[in-house]
Amino acid sequence: MHTSPPATVEGVAHENPALLHHFATEEQQKNAANLGMWVFLATEIMFFGGMFFAYLVYRYWYFGDFGAGSQSMNVTLGGTNTAVLICSSLTVALAVRAAQLGKQKMIVVCLILTMLLGLVFLGIKGVEYHDKFVEHHVPGPSFYFPGHVPGHVNIPINQQHAQIFFSLYFIMTGLHALHMIIGVGLFAFITLHAMRGRYHPNYYTPVETAGLYWHFVDIIWIYLFPLLYLIDRSQ
């Protein structure tokens, strides 16, 4: 069993209470936590990578039907959501900066703004999903997607191929939204700690690692937006 090493009175007074006993320095502890988040993000790249690959293969096979599906997306709402996420990435970056500078109130303000922007994103996504349900664009027995392939008036849309597009749309944006919900939950937890003044220039690792996660989720959307909404707009 491990027992705490005897510490001198000065030693205790100068020690950062956030420094765990199995790390030599604060910097080592911080680097380990950051590296852990990056390794997790590497697994997330493979997780989303599989879905991006599925999209690539089916787009290659069912090019016209994917074009038609993509043209049915609401670019205004999708573009607004992209801007909302970029703003939330800025507020996270500013929250980390506030923690580095020891501005307690600023951390809380930036994190609350981030959560609000995250919820705005999810709300707009909900409106888009609602529209898709009303239009019968959700894969299943009531799926209905009339029309023709972009650029070919005499080729009707293949209903099954179009359902693959919408399945990929719902799976990819749905899992992205799930990541957003988890991110908002993480920030709610961190905001509570920030309100109690737990973070200071010598210890703000949770703010930073949750920030890395949030920026990653932003990057996934940066790719999802053009692939799902924009690629077939010129025809």
User: Which positions lie near other proteins, rule CB under 8 A?
Assistant: 26-27, 31, 34-35, 38-39, 41-42, 45-46, 49-50, 52-53, 56-57, 60, 75, 79, 82-83, 86-87, 89-90, 92-94, 96-97, 100-101, 201-202, 211-212, 215-216, 218-219, 222-223, 225-227, 230-235
Q: How far is the CB of 94 from other proteins (least distance, A)?
A: 6
Q: How far is the CB of 1 from other proteins (least distance, A)?
A: 31
Q: How far is the CB of 66 from other proteins (least distance, A)?
A: 11
| Nearer residue to other proteins within complex by CB, 192 or 222 | 222
| Nearer residue to other proteins within complex by CB, 35 or 192 | 35
Nearest alpha-carbon partner for 124 in 161, 87, 162:
87
Measured distance CA(208)–CA(30) in Å, rounded: 9
146, burial (CB in 10 Å: exposed 0-12, middle 13-18, buried 19+): exposed
CB 117 within 8 A of CB 91: yes
Q: How far is the CB of 2 from other proteins (least distance, A)?
A: 27
| Nearer residue to other proteins within complex by CB, 20 or 192 | 20
Nearest alpha-carbon partner for 111 in 18, 210, 182:
210
Q: How far is the CB of 140 from other proteins (least distance, A)?
A: 26
| Nearer residue to other proteins within complex by CB, 26 or 128 | 26
Cα separation of the two ends of the chain: 70
DSSP 204: -
| Nearer residue to other proteins within complex by CB, 128 or 143 | 128
**Dihedral sign computed on CA atoms, order 179, 182, 184, 186:** negative
The structure tokens 């609602």 sit at 130
